[in-house]
A and B are shown apart, each in its own frame.
Chain A
Amino acid sequence: GQQLNQSPQSMFIQEGEDVSMNCTSSSIFNTWLWYKQDPGEGPVLLIALYKAGELTSNGRLTAQFGITRKDSFLNISASIPSDVGIYFCAGRDMEYGNKLVFGAGTILRVKS
């Protein structure tokens, strides 16, 4: 199936640092969703973005829907140990029947 280009693939950062990850696509997306998955759990929705240019925050998390509708980023400020996990971007692709397409994930590890 289709995938988004998500980077970085993994990150190992110091507690308290800010984190940034992004996704790009060759297709125009209607919606961008960011999920976090802990080991043994299903993905949990963190932030949903619905229109180009939208900037949305959820606590220490901030995400933006790119103006071109082909990219999105997620920032985590002042990381803490419980931020550890896999972060997935996902988008609704108009060319793919508006189904949800997932990035490959960013593995975040935090050094305390």
Chain B
Amino acid sequence: SAVISQKPSRDICQRGTSLTIQCQVDSQVTMMFWYRQQPGQSLTLIATANQGSEATYESGFVIDKFPISRPNLTFSTLTVSNMSPEDSSIYLCSVLGKQRSDTQYFGPGTRLTVL
């Protein structure tokens, strides 16, 4: 399985500010995914980050609110813009398995609290 790290692990932010979350993978991967997990809830896919092209967003998520960068095959960032308390969630980076692309692995998550 891939080793995935995220920074920061947690943060407390003020309303109206933005936070950029970094995801680093120990090997090159074609697709990286960003998920949100609201308190007590399951995981919801925000977008798929493709290297060399714009991210593909799921219904209910827009680029202006969640801009994503994917400068190379091992790194991606997710920015949560103009935050409100409703954005308080765990944000998770994820990649497909190397041996089986239908398997999927997750990073440790970034726990965001917006005051």
| Chain A residues with a Cβ under 8 A of chain B | 1, 3, 30-31, 33, 35, 40-45, 48, 50, 88, 90, 92, 99-100, 102-105
Most chain B CB neighbours (cut-off 10 Å) among A30, A42, A44, A90: A42
| Chain B residues with a Cβ under 8 A of chain A | 1, 4, 33, 41-45, 58-60, 90, 92, 97, 100, 102-109, 111
A1 proximity list for chain B (CB < 8 A): 44-45, 58-60
B33 proximity list for chain A (CB < 8 A): 100
A41 touches B42 (CB 8 A): no
Knowing A1-B45, A1-B58, A88-B42 are in contact, say whether A43-B103 is a contact too (CB < 8 A). no
A30 touches B102 (CB 8 A): yes
Please measure, in the bound complex, the distance between the C-alpha atom of A35 and the C-alpha atom of B60, giving whole angstroms: 25
